[in-house]
Amino acid sequence: MIGLGRARPPRIEGILPWLAAGSVALSLLMLAGLLSLLAVRGMGHFWPAPLTLVTLDDGRQLAGQAVREERLPDAAGRERLYLTANRDLDGAIWTWVDLEVIAEESRPRDLVVVERTRWGTFQGRLLALENDEGRVEGEAAWMALQAHLEELAVLRAERDRLRDDVVVPLVKRLARDPRAESELARASARIHELQARITGGSLLLESVDGRRLEQPLEQVLRAWRPNAMSPPAKMAAWSHGVWRFLAEGPRAANSAGGVWPAIFGTVLMVLLMSVVVTPFGVLAGIYLNEVAHQGRLTHLVRIAVRNLAGVPSIVYGVFGLGVFVYGIGGSLDEWFFADRLPSPTFGTGGLLWASLTLALLTLPVVIVATEEGLARVPDNQREGALALGATRVEMLTRVVLPMTAPAMLTGVILAVARAAGEVAPLMLVGVAKLAPQVPVDGEFPFIHLERKFMHLGYHIYDVAFHGDDVQAALPLVYATALLLVLVILVLNLTAIFLRHHLRARHGALPRR
Amino acid sequence: MSVFSSPRPVAGGPIIDFNPADCCLEIERLSLAYGETSALRELTLRVPRHRVTAFIGPSGCGKSTLLRALNRLHDLNDDVRLSGRIRLEGQDIHDPEVEVAELRRRVGMVFQAPNPFPMSIYDNVAFGLRLQGGIRKRQLDDIVEWALRSSALWDEVKDRLKSSAWALSGGQQQRLVIARTLAVRPEVLLLDEPASALDPISTLKIEELIRNLKSQLTLVLVTHNMQQAARVSDYTAFLQEGELVEYGTTDTLFTNPRLARTENYITGRMA
């Protein structure tokens, strides 16, 4: 029986198919390599890595996570880099150890890692815990620490919720609402009370080489014993770490903590940009292809639009800064926000101006995609509609545009992919190094278009180059880069899904 | 090189001088040019009501151009220059008072390649009616059924009105397009080589449909298939190089043409 299927073109002989297939394979390989590098380096950061207790020939000891090995400069041997943490004790968190001088390596189960709000993490042993209930030592101290940290987490969550959802809005209402004062006083009292309960207690810690440290408990965020954890426990800790990375705000000048405000800022800005660019681009495409007289001027405009797509993005940033921020924003401030001058409201970079700048940047993409979609609608469809008594507008809205919708969405997909990855223009028109408050909240007008925002792309740049320890920031850079790719992927998948849905409803256009 | 130079209304062959009361369309000294290229020259012709009139002629003779002029589809092309007069039921279709959308509703058109819209069968037929608006769902259902029955498609599609029109066969699509056009109740139906892209059986169905429809409206058929013109039309006009060569009842034109040019074309002696 002869199977039914698509007729295959005759095989091309010679080296060409190999070259072509090889290029595809190479591209795929590089893409897979990029993604796996990001995934392994980035996501590996959240895995509770084992702590090695290293004893050197001269008897000194250190506890650290092996990071990588390198050849010694004179090629005499190899040395290994350990993350030893304890910045407050050592003044650094990295230690290079010559492999030759390592006498013994072990992984004692009692080594503990303590994550703190100051000085980074601590690695060593827990000797005792002291709080208002008394002092406990040894294994009991570990149990007490776990219980205490859980309690602390609850208290901190309530304090932060009170501060963000109650106190901040109250302070803003203070000027016009007399009742706010008493409410504010009550909330402040409660916060003070919580703060008092958070404060107090300390840990007695000891590094593996015997230096002791008194650690106030309020600065401790988490503690774990990586060598004593079972794989499921590590898995749970890993997912918790990833979740905190996604859901929390950054700490310690972006070198720790999560990236939630940056995710939110990126997505919100891209969505705003799509909302602006889609109608403009589609209308411009319709005008150029359907309305305008197809003469020399239209041809010139078309060429100009295509060339706009090639203008470097930083140029758009300069344009946005000059026209949107200083021009329009400055005027808006003079007209509507004069009472706040000289501190600018719209006259400085912000979400709105960034979205508009990126909309301008991606406008050519949408116009070109729309035009190509319109050109693909066969003339007999248009004539069919006209011959039934449709006006040109009815022909456009009822027959041509529904058939072009998938092509327009393709344009939006390309625009989103381009916009989400742009960083250069944003530096000029509104991205911020740190803006822990997301630009959407419960306060009128809910979306604060004038606020500065964080962006994953800029966050990568900032973490990679503006931290004091690039080595420590590197895993976060990888993780954030992976996240940026994923965010773009999700945005695109949404649009692709929508396009597929439209195609199913309106039928696919014949391929040109 | 034409022996019978225009603008004589009798361009050689007998122009049937229908009583104006029996005429649906009157074409008077119609000339049309695409840019510098002349497509129709001083063409005068009357199309009788409730009959099938066929335009035949070699490729590029202007028969499709003439047909498209009848419902002003040339309006879309800026390069087209047109002079002369076309009257529909006595009214000049280029009169500023005439609304072009309304004219096209009255003069429906079916094209060479089936062009159903990418919607359901039902929505295709209802398309023109919905444009007019103000029609209730029940009424719409009735008209859709009537139009599909008129185009002999109802029995084949009545169980899948909601499925895509693009899933129909070519012949069914062309009948659907005819149904879609009939649904707006045109007075004239222009058919531009409606069966040239179809298989023989579908072609026969379309031809039968054309014969049946003339009781309701006036049909103008462009075809390069002379057997088809002979089978379905009452009157035939032979065009060549943008001029009307001969026009007469189909029987006369095919069995006893007055001019040698016509005879040469019909008998296939012309290159």
Contact A317, A421 (CB under 8 A): no
Does A235 lie in the same domain as A145? yes
Closest CA to A243 of A263, A253, A258: A258
Chain B residues close to A384, C-beta within 8 Å:
111, 115-117, 177, 180
Q: CA quadruple A231, A236, A240, A243: dihedral positive or negative?
A: positive
pLDDT at B172 over 90: no
Looking from the CA of A313 toward its CB, the CA atoms found within 13 Å total 20
Interval A327-350: pLDDT, tens: 888 788 778 877 777 777 777 778
Q: Do residue A388 and residue B78 have CB atoms under 8 angstroms apart?
A: no
**Residue A454 included in any domain:** yes
Same domain, A215 and A352: no
Residues B247 and B236: their CA atoms lie apart, in Å, by 6
DSSP A192-207: HHHHHHHS--EEEEE-
Give residue A131's pLDDT: 77
Contact criterion met (CB < 8 Å) for B104 and A387: yes
Contact B128 A389 (CB under 8 A): yes
Quote the mean pLDDT of chain A: 83
Domain-embedded: residue A498: yes
- Euclidean distance between CA atoms A110 and A122, whole angstroms: 14
Tell me the C-alpha distance between A356 and A351, whole Å.
9
pLDDT for residue A34: 92
Torsion angle of alpha carbons A153, A154, A159, A162, nearest 10°?
140
Same-domain pairing of A376 and A452: yes
Nearest CB among B101, B111, B177 relative to A391 is that of: B101
Give Cα A506 to chain centroid, integer Å.
Answer: 36
Residue A89 lies in a domain: no
Enter the tokens of residue A497. Answer: 């899904």
**Least Cα separation, residue A22 to chain B (angstroms):** 39
Q: Would you say residue A365 lies in a domain?
A: yes
A32 pLDDT above the threshold of 90:
yes
pLDDT at A475 over 70: yes
Average confidence (pLDDT) over A109-127:
84
pLDDT digits (tens, 9 = 90+) for A266-286: 888 898 999 999 999 999 999
Judgement on whether residues A151 and A202 belong to the same structural domain of the protein: yes
Question: Out of A389, A403, A507, whose CB is closest to B184?
Answer: A389
Please name the residue of chain A whose CA is at the shortest distance from the CA of residue B184.
Answer: A388
Chain-centroid distance, C-alpha A370:
30
**Residue with more model confidence, B121 or A470:** B121
**Spatial distance between the Cα atoms of A293 and A257, rounded to a whole number of angstroms:** 57
β partners of residue B86: B27
pLDDT for residue A506: 61
pLDDT per position as a tens digit, A237-252: 889 888 988 887 777 6
ipTM attached to this prediction: 0.83
Q: Is the pLDDT of residue A233 over 80?
A: yes
pLDDT at A8: 67
Which chain B positions have a beta carbon within 8 Å of A294's beta carbon? 78
In a domain, A233, yes or no: yes
Per-residue H/E/C for A471-493: HHHHHHHHHHHHHHHHHHHHHHH
Flag whether A80 is in a domain: no
Q: Per residue in A163-187, pLDDT tens?
A: 777 777 777 777 777 777 777 888 8
Q: Are residues A304 and A406 in the same domain?
A: yes
What average pLDDT does this structure show over A94-119?
83
Query: Domain boundary at A205, A240, A275, which?
Result: A240
Residues A297 and A228 in one domain: no
Residue A135, φ and ψ in degrees, nearest 5: -115, 130
pLDDT at position B2: 38
**End position of a domain, from candidates A189, A207, A240:** A240
Contact list in A for residue B177 (CB cut-off 8 A) is 384
Q: For A508, name the nearest residue in chain B, comparing CA atoms only.
A: B118
For residue A511, pLDDT beyond 60: no
Best of A386, A388, A400, A506 to mutate (most B CBs within 10 Å, chain B)? A388
* Number of CB pairs, chain A paired with chain B, less than 8 A apart: 66
Q: Give the Cα separation of B81 and B83 in Å (integer).
A: 7
A 10 A CB-CB count for A430 gives: 32
Confidence check: pLDDT of B14 > 60 = no
pLDDT > 70 fraction of chain A, expressed in percent and rounded? 93
Overall domain count for chain A: 2
Q: Which domain holds residue A435?
A: 260-506
Q: Is the pLDDT of residue B21 over 90?
A: no
Answer yes or no: do A274 and A206 share one domain: no
Q: Which of the four pLDDT bands, split at 50, 70 and 90, describes residue A135?
A: confident
Written as one letter, the residue type at A226 is P
Average pLDDT over every residue of A213-230: 84
Binning pLDDT at 50, 70 and 90, where does residue B16 land?
Answer: low
Interface of A with B (CB under 8 A): 293-294, 378, 380-391, 394, 398-399, 402-403, 506-507
Q: Which of A388, A402, A507 sits opposite B166 (nearest CB)?
A: A507
Contact assessment for residue A426 and residue A354, using Cβ atoms and an 8 Å cutoff: yes
Domains of chain B: 20-116+186-266 (3.40.50.300)
- Per-residue pLDDT band for A91 (boundaries 50, 70, 90) equals confident
Residues 100-139 of B with CB under 8 A from A: 101-102, 104-105, 108-109, 111, 113, 115-119, 127-128, 131-132
* Interchain contact, A380 vs B115, CB within 8 Å: yes
Which of A2-6, A59-63, A412-416, B128-132 comes out lowest in average pLDDT?
A2-6
pLDDT tens readout for residues B255-267? 888 888 888 888 8
pTM of the shown model: 0.76
**pLDDT of A468 higher than 80:** no
Measured in angstroms, the CA of A292 and the nearest CA of chain B are apart by 11
pLDDT at A1: 42
Containing A62, the helix (H) or strand (E) segment is: strand A61-71
| Domain co-membership, A150 together with A267 | no
B33-38, long-range: CB < 8 A, 24+ apart: B33/B80, B33/B81, B33/B82, B34/B77, B34/B79, B34/B80, B35/B79, B38/B242
CB B112 within 8 A of CB B144: no
Tell me, yes or no, whether A411 and A498 share the same domain: yes
Q: C-alpha angle with apex A419: A417 to A425, nearest 5 degrees?
A: 150
The shortest C-alpha distance from A439 to chain B (Å) reads: 42
Structure tokens belonging to residue A474? 């590197």
The percent of residues above 90 in pLDDT, for chain A, comes to: 13
Which of B250, B195, B193, B199 is CA-nearest to residue B221? B193
pLDDT of residue A508: 54
Q: What percent of chain B has pLDDT over 70?
A: 92
What is the rounded average pLDDT for all residues in chain B? 83
Residues with Cβ < 8 Å from A388, sequence gap 6 or more?
B104, B105, B108, B127, B128, B131, B180, B181, B184
Looking at the domain assignment, is residue A409 inside a domain? yes
B29–chain A nearest CA distance, Å: 24
Task: Check: CB of residue B239 under 8 Å from CB of residue B225.
Answer: no
Least-confidence region, from A2-16, A299-313, A472-486, B183-197 = A2-16
Residues A416 and A366 in one domain: yes
Phi/psi of residue B189, each to 5°?
A: -120, 120
CA distance B99 to A378: 25
Binning chain B into helix, strand and coil, the percentages to the nearest 5 are 40, 25, 35
Distance CA B195, CA B232 (A): 12
pLDDT over 60 (residue A443): yes
Name the token pair of A399. Answer: 């027959």
Residue A363 domain flag:
yes
The verdict on a CB contact (< 8 Å) between B111 and A383 is yes
Give pLDDT tens digits for B214-227: 888 899 999 888 88
**Shared domain check, A265 and A156:** no
Among A183, A208, A240, residue at a domain's last position: A240
**Same domain, yes or no: A375 and A456:** yes
- The larger pLDDT score, comparing residue A301 to residue A151, is at A301
* Nearest CA distance, A378 vs chain B (angstrom): 9
